[in-house]
Structure 1
Amino acid sequence: MGPAPLGGSAGLLSRAEIEDNFADIKPMLDKTRAVVDSARCFFCHDAPCVEACPTDIDIPNFIRMISTGNVKGAAEKILAENIFGGMCARVCPTEILCERACVRNTSEDRPVDIGALQRYAVDQLIETGHQPFTRAESTGKRVAVVGGGPAGMSCAHRLAVLGHAVTVYEARPQLGGLNEYGIAAYKTVDNFAQREVDFILSIGGIDVKPGQRLGQNVQLADLARDYDAVFLGIGLGGVNALDLPGENELSGVLDAVGYIAALRQAKDKAALPVGRSVVVIGGGNTAIDIAIQVKKLGAEDVTIVYRRGAENMSATGHEQEFAQVSGVKIKHWARPILLIGKDGAIAGVEFEYTRMGSDGKLSGTGEKFRLDCDQLFKAIGQTLTPPEGLATAKGKIVVDGDFKTSMAKVWAGGDCVASGTDLTVQSVQDGKLAAHAIDRALRANGAVRG
């Protein structure tokens, strides 16, 4: 969580209050509601919702199955395209993807609740322990997957289904990536991230090596030598800095990503230090997630400050609205210029108002203001720590249309490449498509059994 102490105080709310605050924000539909909402679907033949889904799930067909009582079949149809169908049902911004494209989404109507119906089907199948996939005959080929997040595990699962032996190298103690360490706790309760990982691993043929960080415990050149193919799903491990004096010395100046990870792994959320007055700098989902969560932990005053307008925030309008409904203030068109300390701890931040010039460049207006705080979170984006020997551009690993990198036998996908938006669902699709590309490459030389 960085070199600076956490700052803030523990125990602002009781454990019971915090437990209540972190309950599931959108519990699973019951059978009646699922049947009623599924009946609202027009089951479009050329469904725009499918076009809007990054993983190409056949949405009308799985909803039709729910409407006829075939929930297991619906789940299998979802998982055939998106093995992380349960988590994506919880965290996908459906309001800007499938549900926005729904033909019922008009000023007089509302879209079908596709995300909730997807969760309804997938959760039930995972709870039964049923494994709907079977592995193909062994090909005799071995593939290393680096990174146990959505991209890596999606790739690993599909490769295992295709008959390849897979070894997953994960830097952290647990698999799941952002699903385990980066998603707001109120979005995924009851240890669902690990239950979904266990379901994925139950296909067999996937060996897991935790505590193996690329560039430290394991080297890319060695993997490319020892395996028939390598897939990198390493995400964005670095965190952007404010580049302001005191950032690394003042207590209470924190990396939002690290705090969210600590919160997700905390056995006692009430023991986490929380500021009474908290400032969050950033405009993405991480900024929204940390702001809402510290509010749920008991912070009295939480303000997000973003350097541009609301329409420029990468967090969706739905997420911004949820933050404000949760008691978070959002202030636009301002940037931090000075950290104010007192007795070695953060005491406030001085901001300068910003404006967009006619040349499209952001600049300061010269007008300033101060926000007092005893905890400051940085949520201004993450950066790639590029593996040695790979071509990169604009902070991402360069890949071709098949997710092949500049290094022989190495593919990559997820947030570490520029395949689309940095969303869980996009990472899942990258891993799946890369797995098929790897499979084609391994079979091309005619040496694959089966």
Structure 2
Amino acid sequence: MEIKCSLNTFKKTDVTFIDSEKAYISRVADQPMAFETFQALKPYVKSIGVTDGFKKVIDTFDVSEGQTPAGFRVEYELEEDGALRADLVRDISYDKNGVKRPTNVLFSADSANPYEVAPIKNILANLTCNPGIIYDLFINNPKANVGNQFKTRDEVMAEIGRILGPGADISVELNDPFGKSDAEILEEAAKFKEMLSEYRVVIKVPHTGPVSKETVDQLLTGDKKFSIPCDAPGTAEALRGHNIALMLQENGYRVNFTLMFEPYQTALALQAKPYFINSFVRHRFMQSEIMKKGLAAYDATRDPRYLEDIKKMFIEKDYLCKGQEMDLLSVKQAAEDLLKYRHFEDHEGSDGLDSVRHNLRWFKNTNLDDSRLIICSMEGPLNYPDIDKLLVEDEFSDLVNRVVITAEPNYLARFTSCNQVISYQRRFMNAANGAK
């Protein structure tokens, strides 16, 4: 038999509700409390109130009377004087009024388009964007930015924050992680914090690899090719992203540590204490397919042009830097090694999700209880369905509460439908039409 209790149960004891805080207490007074918790607290509680943090959350978001906002869980603090105080702790696993979201897996949108975000806002726990999404796909795209209504990044993010409300985190990427000083980065982060609130803002910090303040212009001018091999960065350059992430974390910001493609990036990324790590799926999978098909064609024909095609892809996708040479036998060996590492020939990685499996396993070996994995960068008919199937595998049943799936709203929307939806609607609507 389940015995239901709440803060209101204390009214039947000698416990008093603090008069000046009753309006705040009423927001959580009816929320369920385990009978065992009530029994354990009863001998020690003399009064009930809320923390200053609780008041700040309610006042920040102008929450409707009698409610607590989405994106927060209720916790309690028992003070030395016997005051039991309710607190609101940021947790995007929760909907409003301390109720958990329907599934442990959470959904996110890759978008800076307010018109796209609005229809899907009610199922989102997060939104991510970057300069490409903000400027290329929205602000500078006349088809998306109708009437050129939005002109700056700040205008776009303010509107998205208004649409999403308090329940969703919003990850915003630094405009220039290479040229700015720590002080300038903190100033940029502070603007987002002021705009979105300390509760919602998450700062996206990219892995920097071999790119630096001195070399970043190579990506912007001429043929835009880079002169330093991806696997030969300087130590300072490669760890700049990690150090920015740590600096922001130490200054009270949550960090989305992005540009994570290969599993070997994860353990080092976790040292930066990120709130989010990432598994980028799409491009890595497509490149693996090119390698697999090219190797198979070469094995069948011994025609070197198939290895030339792989080499061309290596150059286009920055496996090889500008001017870097690699003979065709070395190309073949490199492709074979990559496919083996990515488990592209077996269940572990034939769906392109070996990095997802790897990253989830890492969560079993971390001390970062609040960190989550964002699965991102997907397209086509199979990426999302394959992820969906992976997340119900027994091995990951205790880890799905650490997963956020993010994609463009329209990509997620396609998986609400299938052919039979149309077929049945035809039948139903014709039946309804005949009943008139």
TM-score band, normalised by shorter chain: under 0.3
Q: TM-score, normalised by structure 2?
A: 0.23
User: Which structure is higher in helix share?
Assistant: 2
Q: TM-score, normalised by structure 1?
A: 0.22
Which structure has more relative contact order (CA 8 Å, sep 6+)? It is 1
Bigger Rg, which one: 2
